[in-house]
Amino acid sequence: LEDLTGPHVAEIKHHLTTTFVLRSFRRNQYEAISAAMQGRDVFVLMPTGGGKSLCYQLPAVCRGGQTKGVTVVVSPLMALMTDQVDGLKAKKIDAVLLNSQTSAEESKHIQDRLYSSHSKPSLLYVTPERLKLSGSLKNMLGHLYRTGQLARFVIDEAHCISTWGQDFREAYQELHTLRDDYPNVPIMALTATADRKTVDDILARLKLRDPVVFDQSFNRTNLFYNVVPKRSVEDMVSFIKSNHPNQTGIIYKLGRDSCEKLAQQLRQKGLNAKHFHAGIENKKQVLDEWKSGECHIIVATIAFGMGIDKLEVRFVIHHDLPKSMDGYYQETGRAGRDEKPANCILYYSYKDLQPILRMVRNDKNATPASIERQDQAARAVVRYCENESVCRRTQILQHFGEKFDKKDCGAQCNNCVNANSGLMVTTDFTEEAKQALELVQSLHQENVTLDHCRNIFKGANIAAVRDKGHDKHSSFAAGKHIPREVVELLFNKLLYLDALIEQSVATHSNWHATYLKIGSKANDFLTGRQTLQLCYLPKTPK
Ligand code: ADP
Ligand code: ZN
């Protein structure tokens, strides 16, 4: 703290230590706060748990600099808003919220306070829907603006404005009018999840003026990333019992029913587990029990998470395939917020891709573009799982456009551990890659799936192959000598390298099928310009 300089440093430090009772700033917090106090537009990209809230809550209680008046916080989730406002009140900070659950009477009271010349709150939390639809709210903001009492707009979870993102929200689109309607009011946008493209999109849509941009490394050094073949629940139970006895954890499942079922199985096996999803009645109770430590393990859909604020989560398990790398990063990001070591385990089975693709397609609001995007997002997770040769951390950071240039992550992921163990083997599969590509090329007209190609290549004696006469194909059984899981790896690697692509095709029934086709980089292999090595852990160590 001693080293900090800047125009408002004394007041900022004062509030940090007294109002918020914290000892020091985390990375980029002070810089973001200081920029905001100087009236700049600010964009903050910080991983979940990085401490985004302080970046706007602290300026909101300062009186120096560009902070006079009310800070308006737009936030998408009601549960999160309520938590924040309660937390602020506990710190004696004057914060109010307006959402669809606010009673007419309360709304009136809040409006009165905002119109009065004294007793204005420091922070006003609103949902984007309210901001878009409520005329009285608009009038009131207009009044604050004209009297110079609007300190700042804060857009939390700003990625919801971007159609690139997974969480696009209709009402967020309207936020582009803030700049036009209140031209002199600075804007701060924050998010934990945005790649380069999305960041640019957010900056443009909100019309930020010469913003100060903070984008922090996504590397969570205290998290161990592990991908494990999905076998029995027993496997997971014994892992938890031996590594995390009586510790706090989250297990993510795709569906609501499977959450309930798994939680029950875990209880039968002696673990202290409960389920949580959007459809349960007693959300608050379950959450409180988990927060207080009365319940150790929450088995949840991804409805569980945004805004949960528990520091000592020791493990996050994905027992089904995550829907996207963004989601995976965000969900695992809930582990180890206290910066002590924590485990992130993904139990992987290729079969888990299908339920996700089905879910994507069955979504009533789906468009061909959104289906394609989510398809690709899920396939990226499959490639991540199957890529056992590149450090997991490197792969995750690469997804966010960040280069992790150390050779390995210091045995903080299973790929690095395996690489250092001497058990991994590296084999040249250049010739097999060529044969696989020739196979796909020759079947171009026939529309075949990835699974089907793998079966031909492996020489599977199954009806699906025989019925199409593919057991007579010249490449039939070309990969007979290769173990099944290495054949899978081979095809996935070719997909990863764009030598193969999976193409979604709309069929007559409006059902999208996905076929395997030759990709843009195939020629490099077919002409012998490029070789292919696979690095893998043999099933029976040599
Ligand atoms: P985010 O919104 O980025 O996910 P939060 O703002 O909810 O993160 O902060 C995560 C946790 O870190 C909270 O418990 C918060 O109190 C804590 N925290 C934030 N800033 C600091 C700090 N400077 N020092 C210690 N703890 C902090
Ligand atoms: Zn690693």
pLDDT single digits (tens) 223-241: 999 999 998 999 999 999 9
DSSP 8-state secondary structure symbol assigned to residue 446: G
Beta bridge partners, 215, equal 45
337 CA to centre of ligand 1 in angstroms? 9
Residue pair 253/276 in contact by the 8 Å Cβ criterion: no
Any atom of ligand 1 within 6 Å of the Cβ of 28: no
CA angle 469, 473, 475 (to 5 degrees): 145
Any atom of ligand 1 within 6 Å of the Cβ of 330: no
Q: How far is CA 342 from the centre of its chain?
A: 18
pLDDT score recorded for residue 119: 80
SS (H, E, C) 376-429: HHHHHHHHHHHCCCCCHHHHHHHHCCCCCCCCCCCCCEHHHHHHHHCCCEEEEC
* 339: confidence class by pLDDT, cuts 50, 70, 90: confident
pLDDT tens, residue by residue, 107-117: 999 999 999 87
**In terms of pLDDT, which residue wins out, 70 or 420?**
70
Question: What's the average model confidence in pLDDT over 518-522?
Answer: 93
Any atom of ligand 1 within 6 Å of the Cβ of 333: no
- Distance from C-alpha of 262 to C-alpha of 281, rounded to nearest angstrom: 18
pLDDT tens, residue by residue, 10-48: 999 999 999 999 988 888 899 999 999 999 999 999 877
82 CA to centre of ligand 1 in angstroms? 16
Tokens of 230: 């999905």
270 CA to centre of ligand 1 in angstroms? 33
Residue pair 237/271 in contact by the 8 Å Cβ criterion: yes
Q: Whose CA is nearest to atom 25 of ligand 1?
A: 22
- Distance from C-alpha of 55 to C-alpha of 30, rounded to nearest angstrom: 8
Residue pair 386/488 in contact by the 8 Å Cβ criterion: yes
pLDDT score recorded for residue 109: 92
Most confident segment among 106-120, 184-198, 406-420, 430-444:
430-444
- Distance from C-alpha of 251 to C-alpha of 261, rounded to nearest angstrom: 12
Ion ligand 2 nearby residues (CB, 5 A): 391, 393, 409, 413, 416
- For residue 37, give the 3-state DSSP assignment: helix
* Residue that the structure tokens 């036009």 belong to: 180
* 407: confidence class by pLDDT, cuts 50, 70, 90: low
CA torsion 190→193→195→197, rounded to 10°?
-60
Residue pair 490/433 in contact by the 8 Å Cβ criterion: yes
* Residue that the structure tokens 């980089």 belong to: 521
Residue pair 74/173 in contact by the 8 Å Cβ criterion: no
Q: Whose CA is nearest to atom 9 of ligand 1?
A: 51
**Which amino acid is it at 370?**
S
pLDDT score recorded for residue 361: 87
Residue pair 377/399 in contact by the 8 Å Cβ criterion: no
- For residue 155, give the 3-state DSSP assignment: strand
421 CA to centre of ligand 2 in angstroms? 13
CA angle 323, 483, 513 (to 5 degrees): 40
Any atom of ligand 1 within 6 Å of the Cβ of 52: yes
Any atom of ligand 1 within 6 Å of the Cβ of 290: no
Any atom of ligand 1 within 6 Å of the Cβ of 57: no
pLDDT score recorded for residue 251: 97
* Residue that the structure tokens 């693709």 belong to: 357
CA angle 175, 180, 185 (to 5 degrees): 85
Beta bridge partners, 347, equal 228
Strand order in the sheet with 315-318: 223-229, 342-348, 315-318, 249-252, 297-300, 273-276
pLDDT score recorded for residue 305: 73
Average pLDDT, the chain: 89
pLDDT tens, residue by residue, 97-137: 998 888 889 999 999 999 987 788 999 999 998 888 888 89
Ligand number nearest to the C-alpha of 420:
2
**In terms of pLDDT, which residue wins out, 236 or 397?**
236
User: Does ipTM exceed 0.85?
Assistant: yes
pLDDT tens, residue by residue, 348-369: 988 899 889 888 988 888 888 8
> Count of alpha carbons within 13 Å of 240, Cβ hemisphere only?
27
Tokens of 10: 């004394």
pLDDT score recorded for residue 48: 72
Backbone φ and ψ for 116, nearest 5 degrees, come out as: -70, 160
pLDDT score recorded for residue 220: 87
* 423: confidence class by pLDDT, cuts 50, 70, 90: confident
Q: What percentage of the chain carries pLDDT values higher than 90?
A: 57
Check pLDDT > 50 for residue 82.
yes
Check pLDDT > 70 for residue 166.
no
Residue pair 98/126 in contact by the 8 Å Cβ criterion: yes
* 53: confidence class by pLDDT, cuts 50, 70, 90: very high
- Distance from C-alpha of 172 to C-alpha of 194, rounded to nearest angstrom: 16
Closest ligand 1 atom to 23 CA: 24
CA angle 365, 371, 372 (to 5 degrees): 155
N- to C-terminal Cα separation, the chain: 55
- Distance from C-alpha of 224 to C-alpha of 63, rounded to nearest angstrom: 43
Q: Whose CA is nearest to atom 18 of ligand 1?
A: 51
